Chains A and B, each alone.
Chain A
Amino acid sequence: MCGIVGIFTKTEALRPTLGQHLSDMLITMSDRGPDSAGIAVYGSDTPGMTKITVQADDPARLAALDLPGAEIRTISTHAVISMPDGKAAETLAKLRATPGLRIMGSGARIEIFKEVGLPADVSRHFALPAMSGTHGIGHTRMATESAVTTDGAHPFSTGPDQCLVHNGSLSNHNSVRRRLARDGVTVSSENDSEVAAAYLTHAMSSGRNLGQALESALKDLDGFFTFVVGTRDGFGVLRDPIACKPAVMAETADYVAFGSEYRALAPLPGIEHARIWEPEPAKVYFWEAA
């Protein structure tokens, strides 16, 4: 199964309480997937600064980080490390070489938190209700294609400020993985959804926008999928042509929201007057901040 939730704000109205809404929505979807949960939140950016989110099973490894010039904010098993853009590549290399650390994602605005466990626990560990931002995506997983681990939890981030969550299973992920490898793109886990994330990152790095990358995914990815994808300023939704995996969307003057089921949207403010629809199969939905 798996449960997906997402909000993309169009005005300031929901931004201060984005985390609270995402948390409520994600917890509603707990029975769609109790194995692991995760969220990506696009918060404020500081010009000239890059943020890297890292995870360690042993929080002592986060406390032991020695990164001169970087600001480190530790939340449970994760740490968000901020540094000037010019130091980002060097810092990433250093973090990658540090044993026991996993890079969750990086960019100007994205912060990613994911762990094994129920959405309510994951939300509490990372104080999700206190977070603010312009858009965010959450996922609760019922594992099918790879192990129940932090590495197998969604969202997957394979490029700066990009993330993807997936409900479904891809049948051609190994061949796509090999094709990406020939183009120099490596996928770190065995997970099929991470291949989809890397595919989109690769498509966008060759100059396509998110909408165009999703269009090409319809041709190249085979299997069942409902994807919700975030970029620095954008939010996209795509369902495969068979569209077995459920999806409901709501739009008001203030926001666009996604839920695997209407239950997830029910707590949102103004939902009674929202335009509510089921996204069409094989149709790219894509919003971008002006």
Chain B
Amino acid sequence: MQSVDLSSSDLRSLNAALQAQAEQTNQTVWEVLNPRGAHAIAVGLDAPIEVTVNGSTGYYCAGMNKQATVTVKGSAGPGVAENMMSGTVIVEGDASQYAGATGRGGTLIIRGNASSRCGISMKGIDIVVGGNVGHMSAFMAQKGNLVVCGDAGDALGDSLYEARLFVRGSVKSLGADCVEKEMRPEHLHDLAALLEKAGLDHDPASFRRYGSARKLYNFNIDHAGDY
């Protein structure tokens, strides 16, 4: 295992070393010690490596991830796994605002709570949150799945496109054009797979599904007078 201690090594050399790993690297397992909330740890990775960060991270940890599995053994600051393309990011603690924002693929698992704007503008990423999510989560979410095992805050799924939202607890309020939808067999099937991937044994049938009412997709001529 490769070990990098951020109390004695600088962040740029850590990220340069991680980003230099090729598809066929032999250095597949990495450990980062003493992150102490540093920004942009393990960003821009593009190799099937495993990186474990032993502690809490600051802004943008594991941003733009491709292929790699990044585990944060602590809490993550704003923008964790932002714009992820593929791979897996696991946060053992809580995540701050806009976790998984704009993500196009891969899986983000947050074992604790995520704060506001979780999955904002997500475009294909799957996000599983063990606890609660804050207000404006999945705002303008276009594609992918957001699974919330706890409660969702205000304005869930505001201006939603085709992302699917699953919430086990309560929803404080739904955003514009977000509605509860029927849970069909294919949804239960996909949700079961996501829960299994996150190592959670909740019954998929205990969740409710929310999605777009698709009323904001087109300009409504009858509303022209409102502008």
> Could you list which residues of chain A lie within 8 angstroms of chain B, going by C-beta atoms?
241-244, 246, 248, 261-267, 276-278, 280-281
Q: Once bound together, how far apart are the Cα atoms of A280 and B154, in whole Å?
A: 12
Q: Is the CB of B77 within 8 A of A262?
A: yes
* Interface check B213, CB cutoff 8 A: no
Q: Is the CB of A277 within 8 A of B94?
A: yes
The 9 closest A-B pairs by CB, nearest first: A262-B37, A263-B37, A266-B36, A278-B115, A262-B56, A266-B37, A261-B58, A263-B58, A243-B116
Q: Is the CB of A246 within 8 A of B96?
A: yes
Q: Chain A: interface secondary structure?
A: loop
A39 to chain B, nearest CB (A): 21
A265 — which chain B residues lie within 8 A by C-beta?
A: 37
Chain B, 93-128, CB within 8 A of any chain A CB? 93-94, 96-97, 115-116
Q: Is the CB of B77 within 8 A of A281?
A: no
Q: Chain B: interface secondary structure?
A: loop
User: 19 extra interchain contacts, Cβ-Cβ under 8 A, other than A262-B37, A262-B58?
Assistant: A242-B116, A243-B97, A243-B135, A246-B78, A246-B96, A246-B97, A248-B96, A262-B36, A262-B57, A262-B77, A263-B37, A265-B37, A266-B56, A267-B36, A277-B94, A278-B96, A281-B116, A281-B134, A281-B135
A241, A262, A263, A277 — most chain B CB neighbours (10 Å)? A262
With an 8 Å Cβ cutoff, the count of chain B residues facing the other chain is 18
Q: List 8 A-B contacts (CB under 8 A).
A: A243-B116, A244-B97, A262-B75, A263-B37, A266-B36, A277-B94, A278-B94, A281-B116
B74 to chain A, nearest CB (A): 9
Q: Once bound together, how far apart are the Cα atoms of A278 and B38, in whole Å?
A: 17
Interface string of B41-71 (1 = CB under 8 A from A): 0000000000000001111000000000000
Query: A261, A280, A281: which contacts B37 (Cβ < 8 A)?
Result: A261
Closest A-chain residue to B35, C-beta based?
A: A266
A168 to chain B, nearest CB (A): 14
Q: Once bound together, how far apart are the Cα atoms of A262 and B56, in whole Å?
A: 8
B59 — which chain A residues lie within 8 A by C-beta?
A: 261
Supposing A262-B56, A262-B58 touch, asked if A276 and B75 sit within 8 A by C-beta, the answer is yes
Closest A-chain residue to B93, C-beta based?
A: A276
A248 — which chain B residues lie within 8 A by C-beta?
A: 96
Q: Once bound together, how far apart are the Cα atoms of A261 and B59, in whole Å?
A: 9
B155 to chain A, nearest CB (A): 11
B134 — which chain A residues lie within 8 A by C-beta?
A: 243, 280-281
Q: Is the CB of A263 within 8 A of B38?
A: yes
B75 — which chain A residues lie within 8 A by C-beta?
A: 262, 276
A267 — which chain B residues lie within 8 A by C-beta?
A: 36
A276 — which chain B residues lie within 8 A by C-beta?
A: 56, 75, 93-94
Q: Once bound together, how far apart are the Cα atoms of A276 and B56, in whole Å?
A: 11
Q: Once bound together, how far apart are the Cα atoms of A246 and B57, in whole Å?
A: 14
Q: Once bound together, how far apart are the Cα atoms of A244 and B136, in whole Å?
A: 12
A242 — which chain B residues lie within 8 A by C-beta?
A: 116
A76 to chain B, nearest CB (A): 30
A243 — which chain B residues lie within 8 A by C-beta?
A: 97, 115-116, 134-135
